[in-house]
Amino acid sequence: MAEPVQETLPQPVARKRSVAQGSPSLWYKDAVIYQLHVRAFCDSNNDGIGDFPGLTQKLDYLQDLGIDAIWLMPFFPSPLRDDGYDISDYNAVHPSYGNLDDFKTFLAAAHNRGIRVIVELVLNHTSDQHQWFQEARSSRDNCRRDWYVWSDTDDRYKDARIIFLDTELSNWAWDPVSKSYYWHRFFSHQPDLNYDNPAVFEAMWGVMKFWLDIGVDGFRLDAVPYLVERDGTNCENLPETHAIIKELRRRLDDEYPEKMLLAEANQWPADVSQYFGNGDEFHMAFHFPLMPRIFMAVRLEDRKPIIEILEQTPPIPDTAQWCIFLRNHDELTLEMVTDVERDYMYDEYAKDKSMRINLGIRRRLAPMMDNDRRRIQLLNVLLMSMPGTPIIYYGDEIGMGDNIYLGDRNGVRTPMQWNGGWNAGFSGADPERLYSPLISNPVYGYQGINVEAQKRVPHSLLSWMKRLINVRKSTKVFSRGSIEFLRPANHRVLAYVRQFGDEKILVVNNLSSSAQAVELDLHQHKGNIPIEMSGRNLFPRIGELPYLLTLGPYESYGFRLRQL
């Protein structure tokens, strides 16, 4: 939104200083979530790898930023062949990141600052190094044999697509130990668990209880559509999978109220919405198709992709919420777009083939926006003002760059840039020892793009993000309100009215690189006075005539509409 005048900033909303029992339910709807990998955030013991003590040291920064919850990427013991999504022990902490006590210390410190913690859990598969799989493959007679999906042939479930097209030729892999095929929807070193076996479900519920008893506030459950396989189907979103989720939710509500389940289901909205059930499955789910369309709309300078996908999004139960994001640790997925749209995205955002992986683009927000501050801000305004709970990927709040020459998705998983000093303040280790090279190029390098530098400047991206988060949290309209799109003739302007109870907010965004005039039909809000949310300036009262606004390139306004 427009750069606010410093003196007229709204005062920060009084924050709860701890996460206590009895805090309001539906907290996840009002939250701003910050996604990070402990490995990438801060290294306390100078071994070149981030850890929980380091993360704990940085909680003040996150509290100051204004976020409400941290989503931790997998931190469990793992051979790390898929960045921790190949878990070999669910009930421990990877030794590189500390130990269980370090985690508990971090969790308590986060809760003391009013920050909840969501942990990642991979239900669908384990690492092939997990004890369960080692036992299962050791003998066809082993009691854990049936914990995975085995077959003597590789021709079952032929209708299931291969997800990692760049690396996998089949969803079956040959196990030379037990001389049979095992099923895997992702990498071949990630065998799928067999949820037809009740013992698997109980084991995974046991894992969840373990972490819930420690005090985590929710789970981001990875790859949920693929839990169950059936012949003659595409093995996604099956009723049996939903039954498993319902049972997990039932137990969660019974034993751990206030805890939250977030679904990772990269599907079309109509399919994902099934995972909300009747309010008895997931609390939240990612809205995957919206994200690429936000990028598309800005490049097209046309609101159509955003409105189109949100119009295709079915209503969800009152207690449910979409999770929305701009970038995350994975590639910017282009699975939920048409071929035409995918080609366009590749051409516009990933001309260099090394920017592409699987069906997506492995780049961070700032480089995708050509480091254009106005566009970065516009996208963040959209993120914060659209229906759903926003997730900020670590480093995007300062405009960190990426390194497309690192393998896999590692180019967007580089160390957090805290200052312009030794290893960007991330670690005291020798630079060569870091788990990943720092971003050091002249445009995005840590010497210029870092937290310390931006904290000193009131108009830095970081300072602006803090104000934006503050505006977002100043009302429940953004987190819980309805949305009504206005359709001015100027297609480069995306305008909508969010409403929750009597409170109404008008958001107007110029998606184009040039100044725009727009006439908004606001006759339904006749008599209201628009009050710009950043600077609290009054605008002329809304009357019968179309409301004329002019917006600079990529400019946004948020107006409270007040009937006074």
Partner 1 sequence: MAEDSFLTDDLLRQLISVGEVDLLVGVPSRNNADTIGHTVEAIEESFQHAFPRQRVVIVNVDCGSNDGTIDLFLNSSGRKNASSRGITSLRTEHRVVARYENATQATVLRTIAATGDLLRARACAVVSAATSNLTADWVGNLLQPVYRQDFDFVAPLYARQRFDGLLARLVLYPITRAVFGKRIREIQSGEFGFSGRLATNCTTSDMWREPSIQDLPQACMTVTAIASGYRCCQSYLGPRLRPVAAQTPDIVTAVRQAVGALFWCVNAYEDYWMGHSANDTVPSFGPDHELTDDPVTVNLERLFELFRSGVAELSPLLKTILAPDTYAEVQRLAACDERKLCFENMLWARTVYDFAASYHHTLLNRDHLVQALVPLYRGKTYSFFLQHAASTAADIEADSENLCLEFEKQRVHFMERWKSQTEVST
Query: Does residue 220 bind partner 1 (CB under 8 A)?
Result: no
> Which residue stretch of 114-122, 161-169, 337-345, 426-434 sits at the interface with partner 1 (rule: CB under 8 A)?
337-345
Tell me whether residue 20 or residue 489 sits nearer to partner 1 (CB atom).
489
Query: Does residue 492 bind partner 1 (CB under 8 A)?
Result: yes
| Cβ at position 161, least distance to partner 1 in Å | 15
Token reading at 153: 């042939």
Question: What is the Cα Rg of the chain in Å?
Answer: 24
Judged by CB under 8 A, which of 296, 383, 398, 533 binds partner 1? 296
- Positions 83 through 122 that interact with partner 1 (CB under 8 A): none
Tell me whether residue 187 or residue 295 sits nearer to partner 1 (CB atom).
295
Contact yes or no for 463/457 (Cβ under 8 A): yes
Choice among 86, 102, 222, 330 that is catalytic: 222
Tell me whether residue 326 or residue 345 sits nearer to partner 1 (CB atom).
345
| Cβ at position 511, least distance to partner 1 in Å | 11
> One symbol per residue from 135 to 164: x for binding partner 1 (CB under 8 A), - otherwise; what is it?
------------------------------
Give CA–CA dist 564/531, Å, rounded. Answer: 11
- C-alpha to C-alpha distances, 244 to 56, 226, 249, 253, nearest whole angstrom: 34, 11, 9, 14
Judged by CB under 8 A, which of 18, 112, 312, 482 binds partner 1? 312
Token reading at 294: 């936000």
| Cβ at position 546, least distance to partner 1 in Å | 10
> Which residue stretch of 114-122, 123-131, 299-307, 467-475 sits at the interface with partner 1 (rule: CB under 8 A)?
299-307
- Positions 509 through 528 that interact with partner 1 (CB under 8 A): 512, 517-518
Task: Give 212-269 as a DSSP string.
Answer: HHHT--EEEEETGGGS---TTS-SSS-HHHHHHHHHHHHHHHHH-TT-EEEE---S-H
Choice among 82, 120, 217, 264 that is catalytic: 264
Tell me whether residue 305 or residue 425 sits nearer to partner 1 (CB atom).
305
Give CA–CA dist 197/150, Å, rounded. Answer: 13
- C-alpha closest to that of 494 among 316, 302, 322: 302
Helix (H) or strand (E) holding 533: none
Query: Does residue 409 bind partner 1 (CB under 8 A)?
Result: no
Distance of CA 537 to the CA centre of its chain: 33
Query: Does residue 315 bind partner 1 (CB under 8 A)?
Result: no
Q: Amino acid letter at 293?
A: R
Judged by CB under 8 A, which of 300, 406, 483, 529 binds partner 1? 300
Helix (H) or strand (E) holding 508: strand 503-510
Q: In this structure, how many other beta carbons lie within 10 angstroms of the beta carbon of residue 331?
A: 22
> Which residue stretch of 120-128, 201-209, 217-225, 300-308 sits at the interface with partner 1 (rule: CB under 8 A)?
300-308
Query: Does residue 305 bind partner 1 (CB under 8 A)?
Result: yes
Query: Does residue 486 bind partner 1 (CB under 8 A)?
Result: no
> Which residue stretch of 128-136, 169-177, 489-497, 554-562 sits at the interface with partner 1 (rule: CB under 8 A)?
489-497
Q: Which long-range contacts link 200-209 to residues 24+ away (Cβ below 8 Å)? A: 200/147, 201/244, 201/247, 203/132, 203/147, 204/90, 204/121, 204/123, 205/248, 205/251, 207/90, 207/91, 207/121, 208/121, 208/248, 208/252, 209/255
| Cβ at position 360, least distance to partner 1 in Å | 17
Query: Does residue 490 bind partner 1 (CB under 8 A)?
Result: yes
> Which residue stretch of 9-17, 338-346, 401-409, 495-503 sits at the interface with partner 1 (rule: CB under 8 A)?
338-346
Distance of CA 390 to the CA centre of its chain: 7
Token reading at 166: 């760049």
Token reading at 175: 């196990």
Give CA–CA dist 20/111, Å, rounded. Answer: 8
Query: Does residue 488 bind partner 1 (CB under 8 A)?
Result: yes
Contacts (Cβ under 8 Å, ≥6 apart) of 149: 182, 183, 191, 192, 193, 194, 229
Query: Does residue 4 bind partner 1 (CB under 8 A)?
Result: no
* Residue 264 a catalytic site member: yes
Token reading at 124: 């669908």
| Count, residues near partner 1 per rule CB under 8 A | 22
* Residue 255 a catalytic site member: no
- Positions 341 through 370 that interact with partner 1 (CB under 8 A): 341, 344
Contact yes or no for 275/265 (Cβ under 8 A): yes
Q: Amino acid letter at 38?
A: V
Contact yes or no for 190/128 (Cβ under 8 A): yes
| Cβ at position 297, least distance to partner 1 in Å | 9
Query: Does residue 308 bind partner 1 (CB under 8 A)?
Result: yes
Query: Does residue 6 bind partner 1 (CB under 8 A)?
Result: no
> One symbol per residue from 224 to 263: x for binding partner 1 (CB under 8 A), - otherwise; what is it?
----------------------------------------
Tell me whether residue 14 or residue 489 sits nearer to partner 1 (CB atom).
489
Query: Does residue 271 bind partner 1 (CB under 8 A)?
Result: no
Q: Tell me the CA end-to-end span of the chain in Å, nearest whole number.
A: 24
Query: Does residue 314 bind partner 1 (CB under 8 A)?
Result: no
| Contact footprint for partner 1 (CB under 8 A) | 268, 296, 300, 302-305, 308, 312, 338-341, 344, 488-492, 512, 517-518
Active-site positions read 222, 264
